[in-house]
A and B are shown apart, each in its own frame.
Chain A
Amino acid sequence: MRAWALISWWYGVGWVGEFRLQLRRLSRVEEYFSFGTLLRTLFQPFRQIDAGSRRGGLSVQFRAWLDRTISRFIGASARLVLLVVGVAWWCISALMSACWLLVWPLLPLAPVLGAAAAALRVGVA
C-alpha cells in the first residue's frame, strides 16, 4: 500500500511539483541576474557617474555629453557582459533541470535498468 502511495505520487503530483520546483530555481537565477533591469537600463549611465546636467558654454556642454556617453558605454558594456554570463548560466541551469525531469520517472526503475545495462554489458568493449 505504501509502495502504491509512493508510485502514484511519484508519477503524478510529485513529477508536476518537481517541474514547478525547477521553474522556481530558474526564476531565481533570472532574479539574481536581473535580466529585466539589465535590458531596461542597458544604455543608462553606470552608477550615475557624470549623469547630471551641467550649465555652461558649448565646450562644457560638449564635455558633459562626452562624459555621459562614456558612462553609458561603460554601463552598456558591463550590462552586456552580465547578460551574456547570466543567459549562459540560465541555459545551463535549464538544461540540468530538463535532464533531471527526464531522469525523475526513471529513478524507481533504476534497479531494473541497471540489471538490463549489466545484461547488455553496456560500456564494456
Chain B
Amino acid sequence: MSELFSYESSRARNARTHLLLSGWLQPVLLVGATLLAGFGGWLLIISETSGWILVGVALFLLVPLLWDDRHLKTLPVLKGQRIDDRLEPGLLARLPSRLDRNALVANLSYARSVQFMMARAGVSPRFISETFGEAELKVAWERVVARKPEGVVYASDILASLVASDPALTSLLPHLQLDQNDVDLVADWYARLEELIAHHSEIRPTGGIARDWSFGYSHLLERFGVNVSDRVANGSLHVTIEAHQDALNFMVSTLATSGKANVALVGPAGSGRTTIIEALAERLMKDDGVPASLKYRQVIQLDAATLIGAAAGRGQLEELVNELLVEAYRAKNIIVCLDDAELFFEDGVGSVDLANLLKPVLEGGVLKIILTMEEQRFLKISQRNPALAQLLNRFTVQPASYEETMRVMQDQLIPTEFRSHVTYMYQALREAYRLSERYVHDAAQPAKSLQVLLSAAQHDEDGLVTAASVQKAVEQNFGVKVGASAGGEEKQMLLNLEQRIHERMINQTRAVSIVSDALRRARAGVRNEKRPIGTFLFLGPTGVGKTELAKALAAVYFGGEEQLVRLDMNEFVSPDDVRRLIADGADDPTSLSAQILKQPFSVVLLDEIEKAHDAVLSTLLQMLDEGILRDEKGREVSFRDAIIIATSNAGSEHIRRHIEAGEQLEQFEQALQNELINSGEFRPEFLNRFDDIVLFRPLTEIELAKVVDLIIAGVNKTLEPQKVSVTIDTELKAWLVVKGNDPRLGARPMRRQVQRVVENIMAKQLLAGAVQPGQVVNLTLEDVPEEMK
C-alpha cells in the first residue's frame, strides 16, 4: 500500500490535525482563550501583573485555530499522484494506516461526496466485494488518475472507479438503470457542485461606490425593466454556461464596436437566450478581458409583453419605448435588452410595429442594444422588413445538447431542491431529457427538460425524485403512458387483452391478436420509439367489426372511447382538404394535428381510407412511417404514442369469395394485397407504410347470434338505472339473426333489428307499467307483434 498511500505524509497528518481542530477542540480552545483573556485583563485592571501570563496564554491558544483556518482547512493538492497527495482532506483524515475493505467502506460511507452518490444514483460503497484488497485499490486509483490527471480527488471518484474495476459491481448497475459512464458522470456532478460553491463564495467585483456617479439616472428603465447587472452583483443569480461561450464572445466584441453596436440573439424559446444575457452582465462586472467601453455597463432587460401591457393606448407604446431609449442614451452606461423583441415588429390589426422607431437607433449605433427573438418570427420579420434585418448582428442560439442540458439541470437543481424539499436522482435527470425531447414541443433544451423535472417534484417518493416520478409527471401532464414496464394491474390487463376485447366484439381473432401484440410490445419497452405504437390497415366488408375493434381498443386500453380520434376520410376527397388535416388548433380544434396535440395517447381511426384524395394520403405517409406530422405552422406533431388504424372496404368482395370457397384468411392475404395494388386502389408505398394489413372475414350465423347477445347486453346496460333487464329465448334469437343478417352489410342491420324489436317492446311495457323494478323480462317470438314479423 506504500506506493499508493503514505499514512505519515505531511498532507495526511495535516488532514488529521484539521479533523481534530475542527471537532470538539475548536470550541474548547475558543472558550479557553476568551476566559483566559477576560480573566487576565481583569487581573491587569486590578494591577496584578500575573494577568500578562494569562493574556499571553490566551493569545497562544489562537495559534492552532489560525493555523487551521488559514492552512489546514483548505489543504492544497500536491503534484504527486499518490492517494495522500490528492484525496479530499475529509476522507484522507479518516483513512487508517492499513487500508482494508471494511475500513474503506466505512470511511467512504462517511464522505459527503459518496453520500451524494448514494442519494443521486443509488450507488453505495456497500457494493464493494468482500474480496477487495490492495490490488483492486491500485487498479481503481490508476483509473482515477487517468480520468482526473489533476485537481482534488473526491471519495465519489474512488467509488466510481472501484465499481468500474470490479465486474461483479458493474453487473449490478443495470438494476439501477445505470452504466459505468453514468456513475462517472455522477462523480463529476459532485466535483462540479464543489466548484460552483467555491465560485459562489468568491467576492464579486461591483465597480465600487462611485461606479455610476458619472452616468445618468435610469429611473424609467428600472421601473419597466430588470437590472440584470444588479442581480448578478448581489449574488442572487448564478450563471454558468460553457455551451454559450461563443455567443458571449460575439456579444462582447460586437457591442464594443462603435458602429452597429447591437446583437440579435435568435433561437427557439428555452434555448438559453436569457441566460446568455445574464452571463454577459456577469462578465461585464469582471476585470478580465472586457473592453473599457463595456466595463461595468448595466444590462437592463425590458420585457416586450410588459411594455405592451403598460402602454395600451394608441401611440403610447412608441412614446414609452422612445423615452426608455432616450434615458438609456443619456445615462451612457446602459445596454438595453429587448426580450422577445419579435413582439415589437408584428404586423396586422392590433399589433405593434416599432421598426421605424428602432431603425435609426440601430443604424446610428448610439445605443448598445440586444434583442432576443424566436427563430421563425425573425425569419418572417426579415422577409417583411429586410432593411431592419440588415441592421441587426444576428447570432443563432442552438438548443443545448444532451451533455449541456444535463449540466444545466445539475447546476440549477440545487436551489429548486432547497425550495421543494426534494432530492433529484441522476436517473430522473436523464429521463427528463429523454421524455422532454419526445413530448415537449413548445420549448427547446435545456428549458424543456427543466420544465419536466420541476413538475416531477410533485411525484416524489419519500423526498426522492426518481425516473418513475418523471414518468408519472409526463403521464399526467401529457396524457400518455411512458413507463417501460407496466404495473401489476396493467400487466394483467395487457396479458389478457384479447379476452377483454372479445367481451366487446365477436371473432376476428387474428386482428385482435395483432393489435394486442403491438400494445404489449409498446408497454414492455421493446418497440421502436421513433414510430407509432402500431399502424394497421383493416380490410374487410362493412359491419364485421373493423371500427368496433378500434373503439374496443380505445375503451379497454386507452381509457375510454373518447380516446378515439376518428376521421371519416370520405370528407377528405380534394387536395384542399389537406389543410383541414393539419390546421392549427387555434383555427380548427377538430383537425387531426390539433386533436393529437391535445391527446397524444389515442387510437387514430381513419375510416374508409380508400376514399381520401391522393394528396391527403401523401400527407399521411410520414405520420405512418415516423409517427410525425407537420402542422400548417411547421410544428412537429407526434403520433408516437398512438395506434393508427385505417379501415377500408376495398377488396371485400374478394374476401367474401375466398371465404365462401372455404379458404383461410392467411391463404389469400398476399394475393389480395397484390390485387389492390394492381387495381390501383392503393399505391404500394402507402400499403408498405403499415405494420400489418389485417383482413376481416364476414360473420357466420353463429357469430351473428353472439353479436345479438352483445347487443342485448348493451340494452341491459341502458336499462340498468331502472333496475330492469331483458333476456330473449333461443327462438327469438334465431329469428333476429335471420331477419338482421344481410351479407352485404354485416352485423349492422342486426343492431337496427334488435332496436326495432326488443327496445320497442320494452319501451311499451315500461310505459304501461307492466314491468316493475328488479324484474327480468323474458321475451319470446310470441311477444313480437305481427306487423314486425
Q: How far is the CA of A39 from the CA of B529 in the complex (A)?
A: 66
- Does B67 interact with chain A (Cβ within 8 Å)? yes
B50 to chain A: which residues have CB within 8 Å? 118
Q: Contact between A48 and B49 (Cβ–Cβ < 8 Å)?
A: no
B213 to chain A, nearest CB (A): 6
Q: How far is the CA of A111 from the CA of B56 in the complex (A)?
A: 4
Given A6-B63, A14-B70, A110-B56, A45–B214 Cβ distance below 8 Å?
Answer: yes
| Interface core residue of A47, A78, A114 (most chain B CB under 10 Å) | A114
A21 to chain B, nearest CB (A): 8
Q: Contact between B210 and A124 (Cβ–Cβ < 8 Å)?
A: no
Q: Contact between B209 and A117 (Cβ–Cβ < 8 Å)?
A: no
B41 to chain A, nearest CB (A): 11
Q: Contact between A37 and B211 (Cβ–Cβ < 8 Å)?
A: yes
B775 to chain A: which residues have CB within 8 Å? none
Q: Digit string of B46-72 for contact with A (CB within 8 Å is 1, else 0)?
A: 010111111111111011101100110
A123 to chain B, nearest CB (A): 6
Q: Contact between A48 and B214 (Cβ–Cβ < 8 Å)?
A: yes
Q: How far is the CA of A5 from the CA of B12 in the complex (A)?
A: 12
B54 to chain A: which residues have CB within 8 Å? 114
A90 to chain B, nearest CB (A): 12
Q: Please classify the interface of chain A as helix (H, G, I), strand (E, B), loop, or mixed, using the class held by over half of its residues.
A: helix
Q: Contact between A118 and B213 (Cβ–Cβ < 8 Å)?
A: no
A13 to chain B: which residues have CB within 8 Å? 71
Q: Residue B216 contacts which of A10, A21, A41, A47 (CB distance < 8 angstroms)?
A: A47
B329 to chain A, nearest CB (A): 9
B57 to chain A: which residues have CB within 8 Å? 110-111, 114
- Determine the residue in chain B with the shortest Cβ distance to A36: B208
Give the A interface residue count (CB, 8 A): 47
Q: Residue A47 contacts which of B71, B205, B213 (CB distance < 8 angstroms)?
A: B213
Q: Contact between A122 and B52 (Cβ–Cβ < 8 Å)?
A: yes
- Does B330 interact with chain A (Cβ within 8 Å)? yes
Q: How far is the CA of A118 from the CA of B60 in the complex (A)?
A: 16
- Does B203 interact with chain A (Cβ within 8 Å)? yes
B10 to chain A: which residues have CB within 8 Å? 5
Q: How far is the CA of A114 from the CA of B203 in the complex (A)?
A: 38
Q: How far is the CA of A35 from the CA of B153 in the complex (A)?
A: 42
Q: Contact between A37 and B210 (Cβ–Cβ < 8 Å)?
A: yes
A52 to chain B, nearest CB (A): 6
Given A110-B56, A114-B54, A41–B213 Cβ distance below 8 Å?
Answer: yes
- Determine the residue in chain B with the shortest Cβ distance to A51: B216
Q: Please classify the interface of chain B as helix (H, G, I), strand (E, B), loop, or mixed, using the class held by over half of its residues.
A: helix
- Does B17 interact with chain A (Cβ within 8 Å)? yes
Q: Contact between B208 and A31 (Cβ–Cβ < 8 Å)?
A: yes
Q: Contact between B210 and A31 (Cβ–Cβ < 8 Å)?
A: no
- Does B14 interact with chain A (Cβ within 8 Å)? yes
- Determine the residue in chain A with the shortest Cβ distance to B20: A2
Given A33-B208, A117-B49, A118-B53, A78–B71 Cβ distance below 8 Å?
Answer: no
- Does B331 interact with chain A (Cβ within 8 Å)? yes
Q: Contact between A41 and B210 (Cβ–Cβ < 8 Å)?
A: yes
A62 to chain B: which residues have CB within 8 Å? none
- Does A67 interact with chain B (Cβ within 8 Å)? no
Q: Contact between A2 and B17 (Cβ–Cβ < 8 Å)?
A: yes
B47 to chain A: which residues have CB within 8 Å? 123-125
- Does B377 interact with chain A (Cβ within 8 Å)? no
**A21-45 CB contacts (< 8 Å) to partner B:** 21, 28, 31-34, 37-38, 41, 44-45
A123 to chain B: which residues have CB within 8 Å? 44, 47, 49, 52
Q: Contact between A38 and B59 (Cβ–Cβ < 8 Å)?
A: no
A31 to chain B: which residues have CB within 8 Å? 205-206, 208
- Does B521 interact with chain A (Cβ within 8 Å)? no
A18 to chain B: which residues have CB within 8 Å? 70
A107 to chain B: which residues have CB within 8 Å? 59-60, 62-63, 66
A40 to chain B, nearest CB (A): 9
Q: Residue B208 contacts which of A9, A10, A37 (CB distance < 8 angstroms)?
A: A37
Q: Contact between B203 and A28 (Cβ–Cβ < 8 Å)?
A: yes
A1 to chain B: which residues have CB within 8 Å? 13
| Interface core residue of B56, B63, B206, B330 (most chain A CB under 10 Å) | B56
Q: Residue B213 contacts which of A32, A46, A110, A111 (CB distance < 8 angstroms)?
A: A46
B62 to chain A: which residues have CB within 8 Å? 107
A37 to chain B, nearest CB (A): 5
A82 to chain B: which residues have CB within 8 Å? 209-210
- Does A115 interact with chain B (Cβ within 8 Å)? yes
| Interface core residue of A44, A111, A119, A125 (most chain B CB under 10 Å) | A111
Q: How far is the CA of A122 from the CA of B53 in the complex (A)?
A: 11
- Does B143 interact with chain A (Cβ within 8 Å)? no
Q: Contact between A112 and B213 (Cβ–Cβ < 8 Å)?
A: no
Q: Digit string of B9-34 for contact with A (CB within 8 Å is 1, else 0)?
A: 01001100100000000000000000
**B686-705 CB contacts (< 8 Å) to partner A:** none
Given A110-B60, A123-B44, A48–B67 Cβ distance below 8 Å?
Answer: no
14 contacts between A and B (CB under 8 A): A1-B13, A32-B209, A33-B209, A34-B207, A34-B210, A37-B210, A45-B214, A46-B213, A47-B214, A107-B66, A110-B58, A114-B56, A114-B59, A124-B49
Residues of A within 8 A of B (CB): 1-2, 5-6, 9-10, 13-14, 17-18, 21, 28, 31-34, 37-38, 41, 44-49, 51-52, 75, 78-79, 82, 107-108, 110-115, 117-119, 121-125
Q: A-B pairs with the 5 shortest C-beta distances?
A: A114-B56, A34-B208, A48-B216, A110-B59, A117-B52
